[in-house]
Amino acid sequence: MLLYALKRFLTTIPVLWIAITVCFFILRLSPGGPFDGERPLPPAVKQNLEAHYNLDKPLVQQYAIYVGNVLQGDLGPSFTSEDFNVAEQLKLGLPYTIIIGGAAFIIAVLFGILAGIYGALWRNAWPDYVLASIILLGLILPSFLLAPIFQLIFGVELGWLPVGGWGDGELRYIVLPVAVLALPHIARISRLMRGAMIEVLHSNFIRTARSKGLNTGPIVLRHALKPALMPVVSYLGPAAGYLLTGSIVVETIFGLPGIGRYFINAALNRDYGMVLGTVIFYMVLIVMLNLIVDILYAWLDPKVRSQ
Amino acid sequence: MYHSFLKSVAAFAVSAVLVSPLSAVTLNIHNGGDPTSLDPHKVSGDWENRIVGDIFEGLLTEDPGAQPIPGQAESWTVSDDGLTYTFNLRDGIAWTDGTPVTAGDFEFALQRLVDPATAADYAYLQYPIKNAEAINAGTITDLGALGIKALDDKTLEITLEQPTPYFLGALTHYTAYPLPRHVVEAKGAEWVKIENIVTNGPYTPTEWVPGSHVTTVRNDGYYDAENLKIDSVKFFVLEDASAALKRYRAGDFDILTEFPTDQYEWMKTNMPGEPQVAAFAGLYYYVINHNKPPFDNADVRQALAMSINREIIGPQILGTGELPAYSWVPPGMANYGEPAHFSWKDLSYGEKIAEAKAMLEKAGFTDDNPLSLQLRYNTNENHKRIAVAIAAMWKRLGIDVSLYNTEVKVHYDELQRNILDIGRAGWLADYNDAHNFLNLLQTGIPNNYGRFSNAEFDALMEQSNGMLDLKERAGVMKQAEQIALDQTAAIPIYYYLSRNVVSPKVKGFEDNAFDIHRTRWLELAE
């Protein structure tokens, strides 16, 4: 198992290198630069800035400098933030993203699985339909719509929860963003869970269990749950990746200091260092999450383990 | 009994300590973007100016109406030739660590600003100072050659390249703030970190959570500290204007520095008096490419400019009532008076259309041979609305318009490289002088995207440079403006408005053309 994990980890290094290289050159070839904007700079000033950030050197040399720095753990400066470099910004934003994303992840998994089981047990009866409609709503309402609606209802009109901001990190500040983030994932997980559960409940070994006189409760918990979780587990990797890298929509609308907003803002600002920094960070995270999912898979499914 | 009494006394003491900072008056401002830095040489946005201008102060500073008033300098004299300014600093001014602010701090700061190694993107604002441009461009390497000298700790002498009527106004700008030489030299680039920074303005920063907020508190060592009504300011980062409005309604913010234009009508009805819209020294315009036929034909340019119905753009398309622009210089710039205007300004829209059509026909464009052009704008809801409306107006002349939008970086990159037929642009004044707008049309200026080039215009601008008589200077610049308008150098569309929402609790917020409202002048009623 350890060897397997190590091997998986080593294969990610060339992948990472290719991603950095491709990303580096695509960024530089895209039109517009970090210092173009509403207020064009006099040529002398632009030259000074480019020299300051090594942008006046040949592209290949810049690439060598960048890769060299990354190998030494230096992600370089950010053009849109003078006082915090790329690594510092990621470090500062990460706790917020982990709290919000982590809470959303736990809630999505918990509620998603419960709703899925519930839907499977009440299949095609009214509780299933009610649940399915709520879930459908969660799926079709994009977060940029859901977030303002929640803000209006719970923040402005009812005044129950803060409309946005982090405050002092109290629970009430994270309720709305977590709800908005979790809802679509609850929806997806519950659909996966429902489908898998229905399938498992129809399989032979469950029929055997039933014929032995077991009740629905123990059947679901002891026998059906583990095999039915398989498709959900394969979805957890990407879901965790998405939630833990933060959501630009939720962070922007709720004004949260996480790292999600860097992904798009940095690209629009041609903030080369920040784009590459986030790509590296994102890749490492995804690779690690996939590794965890693979290990979980092996634990859940004996067939995977024996291979 | 005795024990519990002691306990309650202790509890009271603790709560008194805890409560006193809480009862301090805190102003919560929705400030838009995340600041790039707190270093005045590294910033360029209005959201950064709000913070930096509260924590530092230059020789001059802004009054509630954004007019220059004495700041760290108590008084000054100007030589008869308008080239040498001598400033006397106030007594008792100090950095927040107690070190006195000296003339040397100003000399140091301005040398650092123009030093190419600093790579300050706003350095050009102080180019009126002798040798500033040459040092910034690297042709002079001796920083000491800059026209600024600390004669002693209290006296500073600044020498200019040529008389510059707006120079005192330019000194209120953050590029002219002093820096704590002792801290910058000791800490290098780290001087600006929240744990190192010392400032000389009415406030000083105590906390910065990137992506969330910057907190400043009053500087009791500031010379006018006794008149500060607000103890602490929180500048919140929030780029979504609709979300900001919701948080304002929930009571999170006292001031919004931007609002969604489509909510303006709703706000006027439901929160009367709170949305504040004021003339802003800025121009929204379309650039025409003078290098590309048929736009090198003045008749074609005039037809395009004439056939835009500016009267409906502010009230109907934007919804906030921006005033139509028929001049190149916005009204209300200092030392200028009423700007020049298009000769056809007062025709009815019907007459303008008829004349424009005739001019196009004269240039050879008819229904069988229509003029076709590409209209470029940077991706933004309002730019799109305006482009669609103007394209529809031009269609009435039989012009075939295709719209082309790109993200802002690409848009400006291409404008600068002169890749355009017609392109959207805007300009907000850096300093209160008509020169700042007219300069955009001079030959050889990078911001002259359309490459308008007119010898007579350039000669008049050259002549106005260095003129000491302000009235005469305004006359010469107005002649230049009239030439630019007669030639349709570009197409002015509307003058910008500033959009704030101000809670009725906030007192002292004065509308002004630069949208600068220093916290020093504000008050927050309970």
d(CA A192, CA A189): 5
From chain A, the residues in CB contact with B247 under 8 A are: 155, 163-165, 255
Which amino acid does the sequence have at B121? D
Q: What is the pLDDT of residue B416?
A: 85
Which domains are delineated in chain B?
Answer: 21-237+503-524 (3.40.190.10), 282-496 (3.10.105.10)
Question: pLDDT tier at B357 (50, 70, 90 boundaries)?
Answer: very high
Query: In which residue are the tokens 């006099």 written?
Result: A42
Closest among B425, B377, B419, B379 to B401, alpha carbons compared:
B377
- B214 DSSP β-pair partners: B208, B235
CA–CA min distance A126, chain B (Å): 37
Which tens digits make up the pLDDT trace of B143-166?
999 999 999 999 999 999 999 989
Cβ separation of B133 and A44 shorter than 8 Å? Answer: yes
Sheet holding B84-89, edge to edge: B73-78, B84-89, B155-159, B148-152
Q: Quick one: closest CA in A to B449, which residue? A: A40
Q: Which of B124, B209, B414 sits opposite A45 (nearest CB)?
A: B124
Distance, C-alpha A247 to centroid of its chain: 7
Q: What is the pLDDT of residue B447?
A: 82
CA–CA min distance A70, chain B (Å): 21
Q: Which of A30, A80, A270 sits opposite B36 (nearest CB)?
A: A80
d(CA B420, CA B432): 30
Question: pLDDT tier at B18 (50, 70, 90 boundaries)?
Answer: very low
| pLDDT value at B16 more than 70 | no
Question: How many C-beta atoms lie closer than 10 Å to residue B293's C-beta?
Answer: 9
> Does A153 contact chain B (CB < 8 Å)?
no
Question: pLDDT tier at B4 (50, 70, 90 boundaries)?
Answer: very low
Q: Which one of A218-227, A280-289, B513-522 scores highest in mean pLDDT? A: B513-522
* ipTM of the complex as predicted: 0.81
SS (H, E, C) chain A: CHHHHHHHHHHHHHHHHHHHHHHHHHHHHCCCCCCCCCCCCCHHHHHHHHHHCCCCCCHHHHHHHHHHHHHCCCCCCECCECCCCHHHHHHHHHHHHHHHHHHHHHHHHHHHHHHHHHHHHCCCCHHHHHHHHHHHHHHHCCHHHHHHHHHHHHHHHCCCCCCCCCCCCCHHHHHHHHHHHHHHHHHHHHHHHHHHHHHHHCCHHHHHHHHCCCCHHHHHHHHHHHHHCHHHHHHHHHHHHHHHCCCHHHHHHHCCCCCHHHHHHHHHCCCHHHHHHHHHHHHHHHHHHHHHHHHHHHHHCHHHHHC
Q: What is the DSSP letter of B472?
A: H
From chain B, the residues in CB contact with A154 under 8 A are: none
Q: Which of A48, A80, A252 sits opposite B240 (nearest CB)?
A: A252
Pure H helices in B157-270: 167-170, 181-187, 241-249, 264-270
| Lowest model confidence (mean pLDDT) among A49-58, B34-43, B130-139, B179-188 | A49-58
Complete DSSP assignment for B273-336: T-EEEEEEEEEEEEEE-TTSTTTTSHHHHHHHHHT--GGGIIIIIISS-PPB--SSSPTT-TTT
Which tens digits make up the pLDDT trace of A117-155?
888 888 888 888 888 888 888 788 888 888 899 998 998
| pLDDT value at B20 more than 60 | no
3-state secondary structure of B3: helix
Q: Which of A43, A49, A51 sits opposite B121 (nearest CB)?
A: A49
| Lowest model confidence (mean pLDDT) among A26-30, B64-68, B389-393, B458-462 | A26-30
Q: What integer best gives the mean pLDDT of chain B?
A: 91
From chain A, the residues in CB contact with B209 under 8 A are: 92, 166, 257
| Lowest model confidence (mean pLDDT) among A162-171, B202-211, B301-310, B398-407 | A162-171
> Are residues A86 and A77 in contact, defined by beta-carbon separation less than 8 angstroms?
yes
Question: pLDDT tier at B389 (50, 70, 90 boundaries)?
Answer: very high
Cβ separation of A40 and B447 shorter than 8 Å? Answer: yes
d(CA A66, CA A272): 10
Which tens digits make up the pLDDT trace of B465-518?
888 889 999 999 999 999 999 999 999 999 999 999 999 999 999 999 899 999
Q: What is the pLDDT of residue B495?
A: 95
> Are residues B230 and B27 in contact, defined by beta-carbon separation less than 8 angstroms?
yes
Name, in order, each residue with C-beta under 8 angstroms of B40's C-beta and a sequence gap of 6 or more: B52, B56, B109, B174, B175, B177, B179
Q: What is the pLDDT of residue B354?
A: 94
Name, in order, each residue with C-beta under 8 angstroms of B105's C-beta and a sequence gap of 6 or more: B178, B179, B180, B181
d(CA B61, CA B172): 5
User: What is the Cβ-side half-sphere exposure of residue B348, based on CA atoms within 13 angstroms?
Assistant: 3
| Lowest model confidence (mean pLDDT) among A87-101, B176-190, B383-397 | A87-101
Q: What is the pLDDT of residue A207?
A: 80
Q: Which one of A39-48, A70-79, B58-67 scores highest in mean pLDDT? A: B58-67
Ramachandran region of residue B187, left (φ > 0), alpha (ψ -120 to 50) or beta? alpha
Q: Rounded mean pLDDT of B192-199?
A: 95
Q: What is the pLDDT of residue B21?
A: 47
> Are residues B245 and A253 in contact, defined by beta-carbon separation less than 8 angstroms?
no
Q: Percent of chain B scored above 90 by pLDDT?
A: 74
Query: In which residue are the tokens 């993200």 written?
Result: B407
| pLDDT value at A159 more than 90 | no
From chain B, the residues in CB contact with A93 under 8 A are: 210-211
CATH code of A93-270, in short, is 1.10.3720.10
**Domain limits, chain A:** 93-270
Q: What integer best gives the mean pLDDT of chain A?
A: 83
CA distances to B32, B205, B486 from B50, in Å? 11, 12, 39
Q: What is the pLDDT of residue B289?
A: 96
Q: Which of B252, B409, B411 sits opposite A270 (nearest CB)?
A: B409
> Are residues A81 and A269 in contact, defined by beta-carbon separation less than 8 angstroms?
no
Q: What is the pLDDT of residue B497?
A: 92
Question: pLDDT tier at A288 (50, 70, 90 boundaries)?
Answer: confident
Q: What is the pLDDT of residue A306?
A: 56
CA distances to A296, B16, B55, B263, B495 from B229, in Å? 60, 21, 15, 31, 34
Name, in order, each residue with C-beta under 8 angstroms of B186's C-beta and a sequence gap of 6 or more: none
Question: How many C-beta atoms lie closer than 10 Å to residue B131's C-beta?
Answer: 20
Interior angle at CA A39, CA B181 and CA A269, nearest 5: 90
From chain B, the residues in CB contact with A84 under 8 A are: 210
From chain B, the residues in CB contact with A268 under 8 A are: 407-409
Which tens digits make up the pLDDT trace of A13-38?
888 888 889 988 988 888 878 887 77
- CB within 8 Å of chain B, chain A residues 36-75: 36-45, 47-49, 51-52
| Lowest model confidence (mean pLDDT) among B334-348, B387-401, B407-421 | B407-421
pTM: 0.85
Question: pLDDT tier at A72 (50, 70, 90 boundaries)?
Answer: confident
CA–CA min distance B441, chain A (Å): 14
Show the beta-strand stretches assigned E in B379-469. Answer: 400-406, 422-428
Q: Which of B211, B243, B412 sits opposite A37 (nearest CB)?
A: B412
From chain B, the residues in CB contact with A42 under 8 A are: 124, 446
Which tens digits make up the pLDDT trace of B417-474?
899 999 999 998 888 899 999 999 999 887 899 999 999 999 999 999 888 889 999 9
Q: Rounded mean pLDDT of B188-216?
A: 94
